[in-house]
Amino acid sequence: MKLWISFLLLILAAPTQAQTEVDNVTVDKVTVDKSKRRLYLMDNNQVVREFRIALGKRPIGHKVYEGDQRTPEGVYKLDYVMEDSQFYRSIHISYPNETDMANAQRLNVHPGGDIKIHGQKNGEVKNSRYIQSFDWTDGCIALTNEEMDELLALVKRGTPIEILP
């Protein structure tokens, strides 16, 4: 009996395969390819994870002003995690940078700035894969809730993110 209890405790205490995989992954950069609707977690220029994404409702072109429904393009940082937003979980992107602000000032518009990678909208009950089949955000990058959990387990604050056209 003691042997069975010891065996059961050993199994319950062992990390799951998914946890072991997360523990063995390091991420030094996030790359988003808007044209392919993919987000890549990178380590030393090698893809370690790939996610299908949804973008802003007007995905072609760089974000210029608040409300244009475009996802920015360029190099930014993932600067802080938000657990209490209108979306499941999110991590903020440091848009706008100095170039974005200068361009917006030149055009006499506000560049916006509430750009994040986030999960599903709170209260949504749609199939999580369904939301990845079209662009629906106001300029953010959307993942499923499960993928958002994985991303936040792997990506640290300050990680660079490059968003390609």
What φ, ψ does residue 77 adopt, rounded to 5°?
Answer: -130, 150
Specify whether the CB–CB gap between 45 and 28 falls below 8 A: no
Tell me which of 62, 92, 110, 140 is the catalytic residue: 140
Peptide bond between residue 160 and the one before it cis (omega within 30 degrees of 0)? no
Query: Strand runs (DSSP E) across 44-107, as ranges?
Result: 46-52, 74-82, 90-93
CA distance linking residue 104 with residue 93, whole number of Å = 18
62 an active-site residue? no
Q: Which two tokens stand for residue 20?
A: 């072991």
Residue in the block written with tokens 């395969």: 17
CA distance linking residue 154 with residue 105, whole number of Å = 36
140 an active-site residue? yes
Catalytic residues: 118, 140
